[in-house]
Chain A
Amino acid sequence: MDPSEAREHLDLVDRILTETDRSMCVIGDVFVVWGVVAAAIDVVFQLVMTGRTAGWWAWLPLVLVPAAIAYTVVRSIQAKGSSDRLTTVGREYLNVVWVVFGLMAVAQSAAFHLFPGWSGAALWSLAAAIITFYVGMHGDRAGMLGGVVLLASMIVASFVPAYCGWILAGGMLLGYSGFGVAAMIYDA
């Protein structure tokens, strides 16, 4: 191989590495569903804790969470089938999602004495903030903004405990579902 051929080959490699899709393949509607589910649970708990609705509504998560998990699984299978690649950063993103939500689920269900009251809801806002910040750090400004909104909702809720559920719900709707809507618009 002569130097001009070597230059040509290196240019080809450079072009392919520059043009290759490195996106994470975020499924926007899954963010929307989880944001709405989390917000609905926050609102229901707010209403139950202030005595404005019957206590049996507190069982709502047992219906909503499995439904959201089922939706996520179905959409993930569909996305895998229709995609022509899984990028390395996409794989890392999926690992981060499972680790973060897995740890939060264990913290909330197995260590509930450590996280009483609203801290369980705050844990989910924290998990959502980690995910959106992670997406944001890979160049997605909507993700970064979503993370900021979620973080802000936790800080505000901490100082206004009487409206904790409403504020955390608002953070989830704006920060998490809002990011999902932005991702869907971007994909379209």
Chain B
Amino acid sequence: MDELLLSKIRLAAIAELLGSEWVAFSALVRAAETTNGNLGAHLAKLVAAGYVDEEKRFVDRRPPTLYRLTARGRDAFVAHVRDMQALLER
């Protein structure tokens, strides 16, 4: 099992990023059903592990932070889901 993905919030964030090129922080907060500060801390760990890329853009003088899933993060997510399914089948 991937230790990083044992957290429900990090797993939810990765799952939300799975079908998108990029997702804004605000959309990830809604999907993970958590607070800005909490999600920010979890995303920082995913970024540090190379699972997620972070990008800041300026739109209407506001800097929305965008996140995208890396190939490494996608592989880790798939492997993690496979491990959980194997655990259930045992």
Contact = CB atoms under 8 A, between A and B. Distances in A.
Q: Do A and B bind each other?
A: yes
A10 B88 contact: yes
A20 interface: yes
Contacts, number: 71
B84 interface: yes
Interface residues of B, number: 26
A81 B16 CA distance: 20
Contact of B1 (A1, A82, A88, A89): A1
Nearest to B90: A3
Interface residues of A, number: 26
A84 B8 contact: no
Nearest to A82: B59
The dominant DSSP class at the A interface is: helix
B54 to A, nearest CB: 15
B88 A9 contact: no
Contacts of A138: none
A61 interface: no
B76 interface: no
B39 interface: no
Contact of A84 (B19, B21, B26): B26
Interface of B: 1, 6, 8, 11-12, 15-16, 18-24, 26-27, 31, 59-60, 64, 81, 84-85, 87-88, 90
5 contacts: A6-B88, A9-B8, A9-B84, A13-B12, A84-B27
Interface of A: 1, 3, 6-10, 12-13, 16-17, 19-20, 22, 80-91
